[in-house]
Amino acid sequence: MKKKLPSILLVLTLLLIWQGIAMAIDAAYILPSPTNIIVRLWELREPLLQVHLPATMGVTSLGLLISVILGLLLAIAMDWNPKLEKALYPVIVASQTIPTTAIAPLFILWFGYTIWSKVLVTILITFFPIAITVFDGFKSTKREMEELLYTYGATKKDIFLKLKLPTALPHFFSAIKMAIPLSVIGAAIAEWLGAQKGLGYFSKRMMTQLDGAGVFAPVVLLSFVAMLTVWVITIVENKTIKWRKEL
Amino acid sequence: MLRFEGVSFRYPGDAQGMVEDLSFQVADGEFVAIIGASGCGKSTIFRLINGLEKPDSGRILVDEKPIQTIKNYSAFMPQKDLLFPWRSIEKNICLPMELAKVPPKEQGKRGAQVLEQVGLADYAKKFPKDLSGGMKQRVAFARTLLSGADMLLLDEPFSALDYLTRVEMQEWLLQQWEHYHKTILFITHDVEEAIFLAKTIYIIQDSRPFKEMERIEVPLTYPRNREDLKRGEIVELKESLIGKLRRSVSL
């Protein structure tokens, strides 16, 4: 806790400044104060927690799950076969230059207001860091260790399972921690563009009603959930990888 | 046990060969040290023996059989311990047996025996980060032993340790060698270490590519004592070896 004190103080200071400015402007539809937002969050707790949060979480988890599977498969394939690496790596990198927000309406056009249009945006935004980070993890395997295993008669599969997979595990956790906030952003953007429920959709609806605090409330909730998830992952990571500093 | 017959080898992309028409042999159960200046190709000999590199010409035989036709004839121990940080000590030493598909029960049994022998029975459940440098090298040695090979290739295994630990590890290694009756090839650039440990010393004097290694018998019997190193003939041997090595070093 002591280590986190400076950052807690900084956040509190910023919130205080925000509160001061908001009170000075005194126009909650332009800049709601932090206390406005908390009050609004409380007032809106039922629709937010019972309808919109589950909808967004559904998109996020489904998108992340598919991204993890897809990202891992791609990383493994590229590591297994150098020709696949040569073919896929540039394409994956190039896919990141596509402005996701700009082509998201296309997905809405294809899949309508179903969950899949939003899941697709989430996948597009998260699978890249997973695939590339895990692939780099495989590549960071020490050559000497690989050779040592060869001298023990290891096969390519042995080397993958006993050496590359554990070596890449810390990278995998980093990738997940990067992907969680991105998946939330992806889901929110997609909902913003076309949805009937979800926190992104709710935020947009409040904007049309000039309800400043109502715009912020779902965003606060989203950030909180993302932070909570990353925190849980970090705990799992620390339990799983006690040897991280050794590499 | 081991025989090189006219072996030549050049690393792909190198202008100069590493080894040219090299022949030498090592007897069963012998403790052989290979000394030479750094970069002279000592480690290349090990890479050729354990099959990480293939000779361009010539043959390498173990028990009169070409090495391509046999398996698990040698076990390699590098300078760095290369223990896997995510595996406990007992899991680390069982790795070669795991790869050889030895039944898990048997692995546990043999692992425990060897850990006992190297004096680390209490550390079975610990992880590499909990051990000192000397202990890690002992674990690495245990892992090498548990590959079941009769020929151990030790590539400067103690060079990263501090002086006192190194001296202790040398005495410890001799005890292990007498206990297990393995053939040991030991690469070092430390002349004193070579004399204290080995029965036979091969010295590489040529610059690249080297064609032969001079064979020198150490006039000492086992078990050995540090005091032996102070004997006149041994001091003389040491000086002459250092002289030979210095000639081969070009600054």
Please name which of A164, A201, A5 lies closest in space to residue A72, comparing C-alpha atoms: A164
What's the gap in Å between the CA of B128 and the closest CA on chain A? 9
Using the beta-carbon criterion (under 8 Å), do A152 and B99 form an inter-chain contact? Answer: yes
User: Closest chain A residue to B153 measured between Cα atoms?
Assistant: A151
Report pLDDT for A246: 54
Helices (DSSP H) in chain A: which residue ranges? 5-25, 34-43, 45-47, 53-80, 82-95, 100-111, 115-139, 143-151, 156-159, 165-193, 199-208, 212-240
Please name which of A97, A118, A101, A122 lies closest in space to residue A194, comparing C-alpha atoms: A118
Residue A247 has pLDDT above 60, yes or no: no
Rounded to an integer, what distance in angstroms lies between the CA atom of residue A228 and that of residue A221?
11
Rounded to an integer, what distance in angstroms lies between the CA atom of residue B216 and that of residue B242?
13
Using the beta-carbon criterion (under 8 Å), do B85 and A148 form an inter-chain contact? Answer: no
CATH architecture of A33-246: Orthogonal Bundle (1.10)
User: Closest chain A residue to B147 measured between Cα atoms?
Assistant: A152
In chain A, domain spans: 1-31, 33-246
Residue A47 has pLDDT above 60, yes or no: yes
Which letter does DSSP use for residue A13 in this model? H
Predicted-complex ipTM score: 0.85
Report pLDDT for A135: 94
Instruction: Return the residue matching tokens 């402007």.
Output: A25
Given a contact cutoff of 8 angstroms between Cβ atoms, the answer to whether A219 and A39 are in contact is no
Residue A1 has pLDDT above 80, yes or no: no
How open is the CA angle B52-B56-B61, to the nearest 5 degrees? 65
Nearest to B99 among A145, A153, A166 (CB): A153
How deeply is A240 buried, as exposed, middle or buried, from its count of CB atoms within 10 A (0-12, 13-18, 19+)?
Answer: middle
Report pLDDT for A245: 58
User: Closest chain B residue to A169 measured between Cα atoms?
Assistant: B86
Residue B250 has pLDDT above 70, yes or no: no
From chain A, pick out residues whose CB is under 8 angstroms from the CB of B50: 151
| pLDDT, tens digit (0-9, with 9 covering 90-100), for B54-98 | 999 999 999 999 998 888 889 999 888 899 999 999 999 999 999
Instruction: Return the residue matching tokens 């995510």.
Output: B86
Instruction: Return the residue matching tokens 């390498």.
Output: B60
Taking the Cβ of residue A51 and every Cβ of chain B, the question of whether any pair is shorter than 8 Å is answered with no
User: Closest chain A residue to B100 measured between Cα atoms?
Assistant: A153
Which has more confidence, A95 or B61?
A: B61
Q: What is the mean pLDDT of residues A96-107?
A: 82
- Considering only CB atoms, which residues of chain B are within 8 Å of chain A? 50-52, 71-72, 74-76, 78, 80, 82, 84-86, 95-96, 98-100, 127-129, 147
| pLDDT, tens digit (0-9, with 9 covering 90-100), for B119-162 | 888 999 999 999 988 899 889 999 998 988 899 999 999 888 88
Report pLDDT for B245: 85
Report pLDDT for B189: 87
Taking the Cβ of residue A144 and every Cβ of chain B, the question of whether any pair is shorter than 8 Å is answered with yes
User: Closest chain A residue to B48 measured between Cα atoms?
Assistant: A151
Nearest to A144 among B82, B128, B147 (CB): B82
| pLDDT, tens digit (0-9, with 9 covering 90-100), for A136-182 | 999 999 999 999 998 888 889 999 999 999 999 999 999 999 999 99
Rounded to an integer, what distance in angstroms lies between the CA atom of residue B181 and that of residue B196?
17
Given a contact cutoff of 8 angstroms between Cβ atoms, the answer to whether A52 and A199 are in contact is yes
List the single best residue of B86, B95, B141 to mutate versus A (max A Cβ within 10 A).
B86
Domains by residue range for chain B, with CATH: 2-73+151-248 (3.40.50.300), 83-148 (no CATH)
Nearest to B76 among A148, A242, A243 (CB): A148
Rounded to an integer, what distance in angstroms lies between the CA atom of residue B119 and that of residue B113?
10
Report pLDDT for A195: 83
Report pLDDT for B249: 65
Rounded to an integer, what distance in angstroms lies between the CA atom of residue A179 and that of residue A163?
25
Q: What is the dihedral of CA B99, B105, B110, B112, to 10 degrees?
A: 120
User: What token pair was written down for B17?
Assistant: 């060969």
What's the gap in Å between the CA of A150 and the closest CA on chain B? 8
Nearest to A148 among B72, B82, B127 (CB): B82
Size of interface A-B (CB pairs under 8 A): 52
User: What token pair was written down for A221?
Assistant: 């909730």
Rounded to an integer, what distance in angstroms lies between the CA atom of residue B194 and that of residue B24?
18
Rounded to an integer, what distance in angstroms lies between the CA atom of residue B205 and that of residue B185?
18
What's the mean pLDDT when you consider all of chain B?
90
Please name which of A231, A93, A67, A240 lies closest in space to residue A165, comparing C-alpha atoms: A240
**Which letter, b or e, does each residue of B217-232 get, where b requires 16 or more Cβ atoms within 10 Å of its Cβ?**
ebebeeebeeebeeee
Within 10 Å of residue A80's Cβ, how many Cβ atoms? 15
Report pLDDT for A227: 92
What's the mean pLDDT when you consider all of chain A?
90
Dihedral sign, Cα of residue A76, residue A77, residue A83, residue A84: negative
Using the beta-carbon criterion (under 8 Å), do B74 and A151 form an inter-chain contact? Answer: yes
Residue A244 has pLDDT above 70, yes or no: no
Using the beta-carbon criterion (under 8 Å), do B86 and A153 form an inter-chain contact? Answer: no
What's the gap in Å between the CA of B152 and the closest CA on chain A? 12
Q: What is the mean pLDDT of residues B230-243?
A: 91
Using the beta-carbon criterion (under 8 Å), do B86 and A241 form an inter-chain contact? Answer: yes
Rounded to an integer, what distance in angstroms lies between the CA atom of residue A80 and that of residue A160?
9
Report pLDDT for B251: 56
Taking the Cβ of residue A210 and every Cβ of chain B, the question of whether any pair is shorter than 8 Å is answered with no
Using the beta-carbon criterion (under 8 Å), do B127 and A150 form an inter-chain contact? Answer: no
User: Closest chain A residue to B79 measured between Cα atoms?
Assistant: A144
List the single best residue of B99, B125, B145 to mutate versus A (max A Cβ within 10 A).
B99
Residue B225 has pLDDT above 90, yes or no: no
Nearest to A151 among B52, B85, B100 (CB): B52
| pLDDT, tens digit (0-9, with 9 covering 90-100), for B151-207 | 999 999 988 888 888 898 899 899 989 988 899 999 998 999 999 999 999 998 877
Q: Which long-range contacts (CB under 8 A, 24 or more apart) does B94-98 make?
A: B94/B146, B95/A149, B95/A152, B95/A162, B95/B143, B96/A152, B96/B143, B96/B144, B96/B146, B96/B147, B96/B148, B97/B146, B97/B147, B97/B148, B98/A162
What is the strand order of the sheet B183-188 is part of?
B74-77, B151-155, B183-188, B31-36, B200-204, B214-217
Taking the Cβ of residue A115 and every Cβ of chain B, the question of whether any pair is shorter than 8 Å is answered with no
Report pLDDT for B164: 87
Helix (H) / strand (E) element for B77: namely strand B74-77
Which letter does DSSP use for residue A245 in this model? G
Residue A185 has pLDDT above 80, yes or no: yes
- B75 backbone dihedrals φ, ψ, rounded to 5°: -130, 135
User: Closest chain B residue to A145 measured between Cα atoms?
Assistant: B82
**Secondary structure of residue B184 in the 3-state scheme:** strand
Residue B30 has pLDDT above 80, yes or no: yes
